[in-house]
Structure 1
């Protein structure tokens, strides 16, 4: 799934705080956003493996959620929502496309790495690829309750994220074709720093 979908899902986890603990809502929403974003910081260093932990994030998030419920505070709520956002991101990646330049072709057997079992989880393609129409539909669905509940800067963040999702969806396939043309021109010394999907494209040329 695309990054906008992940960060909106992370924010949505915190949405109940707007009603039940409004004094903690802002920190929870920001933490959920950052947690949804965090795993994809591994894009250039072992994407969907280095910072993706579907099992461990989920277990830790459960513990932190209990702590936040037992002793709600800025720290406990922020920690719980950050880790739960990262867990949701890591788990949901198994329901998207695989790790390849054109994931709609369905040639990859790697969706996300399971460190607990020490193996790659195969893509289940509930969402065919990041930026697919159904991915955008998820972003829209996640954003609607947030747009209803929030105001001020947080609402602008949600609206801006939704715009990014729409633009990415329109450009997704074109970006892959552009990458296929540009990557072979990258100097060999930089190849080790490319994500695997791009390095593979270079080696095919």
Structure 2
């Protein structure tokens, strides 16, 4: 799924905080945004393996949520939402496509690495690839309640992410071709740092 979809769903985890403890809403939204995006910082170094922990992040989120409920504070609420968002990101990647430059071709059987199982989990392809129309629909489902319930700043962030998502969906297949062409133009010493999927296309 798109990074923006993960970010929006991470932010959506903060929605219950608005109802239960609105004084922590901003911290929860920021934590959801950061937690939703953070796993993809491994994009160029072991993508969906280095920072993706579908099982361990989920296990870590449970006591963090309990702690936030029992001892609510800015720190505990942010920790709970942030870990929950990171767990949701890693876990939901199995619902998408594989780890190829053109995931709509369905050639990769690697969706996300489970450190708990010591193996790659296969893609379910319910969202065929990042940037597919159904990916945009998921982003919209999360963005609408965030925009309605959040303050002006949070609503603007949600609408901004949804807009970026829509543009990405329109350009997705062309961007893959462009990335492959640019990767081949890089000098050899730099090319060694580029993920193999860009050079094999």
Fold equivalence (TM over 0.5) = yes
SS at match of 2:120: strand
Q: Distance in 2 between matches of 1:134 and 1:101?
A: 18
The alignment covers a number of residue pairs equal to: 201
SS at match of 1:66: helix
Alignment of 1:6-85 (within 5 A): 6-85=6-85
SS at match of 1:180: helix
CA contact (8 A) 2:96 2:128 kept: yes
CA contact (8 A) 1:36 1:82 kept: yes
SS at match of 2:50: coil
Q: Cα–Cα, structure 1 residues 29 and 120, in superposed 2: closer, same or farther, change >3 Å?
A: same
Q: TM-score, normalised by structure 2?
A: 0.97
Pairwise CA RMSD: 0.9
Q: Distance in 2 between matches of 1:74 and 1:182?
A: 44
Look up the match of 1:96: 96
CA contact (8 A) 2:13 2:32 kept: yes
CA contact (8 A) 1:94 1:112 kept: yes
Measure how far apart 1:197 and its partner are: 1.8
Q: Distance in 1 between matches of 2:28 and 2:169?
A: 28
Q: Distance in 2 between matches of 1:41 and 1:190?
A: 19
Q: Distance in 1 between matches of 2:110 and 2:200?
A: 14
Structure 1 unaligned blocks of 5 or more: none
Measure how far apart 1:165 and its partner are: 0.5
Look up the match of 2:128: 128
CA contact (8 A) 1:192 1:199 kept: no
SS at match of 1:108: coil
Q: Which runs of 4+ in 1 moved over 3 A?
A: none
Q: TM-score, normalised by structure 1?
A: 0.96
Q: Distance in 2 between matches of 1:69 and 1:17?
A: 10
